[in-house]
Structure 1
Amino acid sequence: MAENIVVFEIPYACPQSQPDHDLMLALATVFNREQEHLGTAALSEATPEEFSACLNPSPDSVVKHRIFVALKASALAEDASGVDPTTGAASKAPKLGVADDASRDRSTASNASANSNTAPVLPHEVRVRDVVGYASLMYWDQPEAKQGYLSVFTDVDYRRQGIGSALHEAAANRARTLGLSIVEGWVVAISDRITPPQREAAVHLPNGDSFPMVPELAATMSWGYELGNVEYMNALHFPMTEDAIAILTARAAEMPSNFQVYSWLDADYPPELADPAKFMESFLRLRSYANEEIPAGELSVENHSHTLASWEALVERDVRAGKQLLNAAICDESGQVVALSTAQRQARPEGVFHQDTTLVAPSARGQKLGWALKAALHKLIVSTCDQPRAILTWNAVSNKSMLHINESIGFHPFLLEGVVQLRL
């Protein structure tokens, strides 16, 4: 890594703390410049509030984040009087040293010593222009959880300097101290930018899927990652065509009448429910199997469970970030949830939704419940958003049936994502 760049870890925030807004803005700026580079800025944009909410979870939250920042070394320079020579303003020296054990939230982390390979703690005051990259580590703060999710973003003007490698090393080291054994990440390929040599050097999976050897995949493989799955990122732009709405409505109407569809926003559960807590227990039980049921190629899969309190903490975090959670679920005659789907209205860009989970229990498949879920979410979107623009969803390339369904109602793939995993 270039000598003028230093990597720091942002101190883990307690619920009462307020992460520095300029730092949160800097992280969002790096992310958004990457989206502009990919040509996806109209569909994906981060806000400072999102990063602040992730670093400032409620006590009941089991989903945690650690963020690592690549900073220009000039930002740390001070003369003897404590004045930043680049601005003439008083500056605050960084606190060098790893985060205190008290700020760690897994028992395994407390065994890490101050001499470990974890990154030093970031100074509290940072200028937006001094941040040139970041890495984010998301994990579940539960003893049985061993898998984390790691993403690395380097500012487009500072690439090929080893910054991404340094950020990844810091985040992977923290994952080890947290007791994680696998981290998962994503790389992106844009169809019209893939070169013939990249296609020829593509990595092939046993199921026949392949991913071109773009620089991002080459970098992650040099860090020890292996390609495990290939997905399409699909987009449906509003308004839906009349033909698409007709198809969706007709297929949803074929669902047997002994099933009941419910939909709601955030944690405002349907008022017609006699026992919302029991309903949500069934909803969360089914959702805990989502990773296992969704086509995952060669990936190692870990299911995650929620209590009602931890789920509502996750919803509350997203609300603080300016997002809104849209939910649809279908119950059988016994009142058990046998199908569910969730989507998020993004804070920005306005009118953009990300559909992250759709699942029908194996015992209820083949009865058009998936269509009914899509119809319920579409109705919820158009009834709660004045000007919906698009909804994004992710499907494995091998999931031909879902890709066909999505295509029939107007979804089109526009990015190829490779899902990679590293065993720590």
Structure 2
Amino acid sequence: MSTTFPHDPQAKALFEQIASWPIYDPHSHIDAHSPASRNLDEVLGYHYYTELAHSAGMPAAEVDPGLDPFTRARNLSRHLHRIDNTVQYSWLLEIARTFHGFEGDRIDADTIDDLYRRADHSQDGEAWDRSVWQTSQLEAVFLTNDFDDPLEGWDTSTYVPCLRTDDLVLKLHEPRTLQRLMASTNVDVEDVKSLRLAIASLFEYFVEHGARACAISLPPDFIPRKATPIASQNSVRRALKHMDLRPDEHEEIRSLVFWTLAELCAEWKLPFDLMIGPIRNVYPAGVTGGRDLFDRRVSLHDYAALFNHFSEVTFPVSTLSPDAGAELVAFSWILPNVVPNGHWWYSNVPAFIAADLKARLQAVPKTKQVGYYSDAYKLEFILPKFNMYRRLLAEYLAEDCIRGRGWTEDRALELARLVLLDNPRRIFARPNES
């Protein structure tokens, strides 16, 4: 039973129907080789809990990676009472109840030993992965794969590869990135032409191994543009020689690689997921995963030339700043290839989701919306996070569509199925099935 169950009877009926459907999750950080948590520390280690507890007074050393898992879990449990008002805590409670048979109403220092014992699946291996998958009614979960991931050892029709390209765009000047690129493609990168050949071979390999999207997370100061041929050639040459680069040379390389990625997305008919806005390491003293923030000055206007130039590429867009929702609605309103995609990170809070969900469903064509993705690192988190969105969606449909516009329940459910299942299945179909 979801801990976020609607109280309104009509919304409750809608939620029950929606919750019976499979989950199609178009973005996560799941490890296909170890998708479900083997112990409670792997659940509590999700950055939301460590960063919230640290923000509320827990020393970062209490969840140091060098500690044993049980000690980390017990240390964190002593601080959970300070964050039990948060939606993230409700996900934790739902996981404990749904997957581990926990019957209490608090997870704290008094109950942590029992819950840790219940959540111990260290000997269960793939059987536990299958159990969580089936309980959650998962249909497909998209991964986040480094460009040199061999993509072997799992069923790519269920755990779907996605080519993540942050390192290619933002770190190509680093010797290690170039070494990885050449090792994974067998292309000797010597200039701009051979660099493109290497990146093209990545697309070929990923698509052959079931990839259905290319994705990147971009800082707020990034402005996509077509690189200047001579300047980019010189910048790439200097980077290949491991020379110190000026800021404008870094910018040329970033522009060149990013534009190349967009061109290859067009060639291979892959959606290009853009996750826009994070600034890394704003809080260096924070816990792992809890050091990044966003900058409100980012604007999709900087991406207008990209969207216009690559009209044949679908861009599912996520913005990190909660107050960027109106701009994303406006771009999705008029540009056929811009798709509002889920509710990401700091915007993944019911108050922000409810406002954005309402604006999107009132203003953007229903056939070009991807309602939600989990962004989860372990399978157990997919169900409670989707249930949070499902509740908000059911409440909106009951209030605005059925009571507000006189829709039937069936018509409201058709809209829900579009944004949760039909649209992501179509937008992220295999390239030869699009």
Question: Which band: TM-score by shorter chain?
Answer: under 0.3
Give the TM-score of the pair, scaled to structure 1.
Answer: 0.25
Q: Identify the structure with the greater helix proportion.
A: 2
Q: Identify the structure with the greater strand proportion.
A: 1
